[in-house]
Structure 1
């Protein structure tokens, strides 16, 4: 069995008049994330980690932010296509360990719904997805509530 590890990171600015999408679910918040797509930083970090683990470059290579077809796209579609890409090379997800950094909204109550949404899109068991939430103790752009960042590590396997 071949085992590979990948790491992903993403960040988007928080702005008014945008919906807040994280982990494939919509959260009620006065601001949302700015981006070409729905700007779901968690799903983008996971896509980058998966693509990196499979040595398939990054999310921007496969889904460029200057392509009209991806304007305002639901990042769950990008995640599903990323799974198709890695599976085309014979890889399957082992597990995901992800962390989202945000001062607000509080994310812990939403983690079960995020795991459920991601597992459904990826066609994997919810137990294969770990999502953690943290703040930056009011430090930096995250602490000032200017943006949200996410980190993801994945393990993929090939028989």
Structure 2
């Protein structure tokens, strides 16, 4: 029996929020009094997208490919990590069908920034904007997100295998 050519993956990530750090979300810098703490730029949206795509391709996770113990990733722009993830899956003959992200943050309100995030991610991934969905929610002031100690995100990714064509492809 032939394996299915469509696969789904899920990603979840959390970062602590602290004053004195930049807040990068979906590949753009957002002005806020707190930023996300991490080894890279701590872009929680890009990190969950990477994990969802890698998971769908059965290629482990972002920490496996870009360990926080490696100094070359210190402060790295997460868009570079996402670009590399796209290369990894394309080398296995996969393409992204769609991405769906839910950002959990009490503040800042990110809805005004979502179109720009989608545009940036579309360019990095070489995927149509209509295939990237980003939503935002609060936790009604409950938990570490509600008390603004951290930020979290969830994502699912659908990928599909691109069939090789005769004569190379």
**Residue 112 of structure 1 aligns with which residue?**
115
Partner of 2:14: 11
1:135 aligns with 2:138: yes
Give the Cα separation in 2 of the matches to 1:120 and 1:157.
Answer: 19
Q: What is the alpha-carbon root mean square deviation over aligned residues?
A: 0.7
TM-score where L is the length of structure 2:
0.93
Query: Alpha-carbon deviation of 1:74?
Result: 0.2
Q: 2:101 aligns with which of 95, 98, 103?
A: 98
What are the residue-to-residue correspondences of 1:36-115 with 2, within 5 Å?
36-115=39-118
Where does structure 1 lack aligned partners over 5 or more consecutive residues? none
- Please list every run of 5 or more consecutive structure 2 residues that lacks an aligned counterpart in the other structure: 164-169
Distance (whole Å) between structure 2 residues aligned to residue 11 and residue 88 of structure 1: 29
Deviations 1:95-133 (A, max 9, x none): 001100001000100000000010000011100000000
Shift of 1:6: 0.2
Separation in 2 of the partners of 1:109 and 1:16? 22
- Partner secondary structure for residue 29 of structure 1: coil
The question of 1:155 aligning with 2:158 is answered yes
2:167 corresponding residue in structure 1: none
| CA offsets 1:53-101 (integer angstroms, 9 cap, x no match) | 0000000000000100000000000000000001000000000011000
Moved over 3 A (4+): none
Cα distance, 1:142 vs structure 2: 0.1
* Deviation digits for residues 16-70 of structure 1 (CA, Å, limit 9, x no counterpart): 1111000000000001000000000010000000000000000000000010000
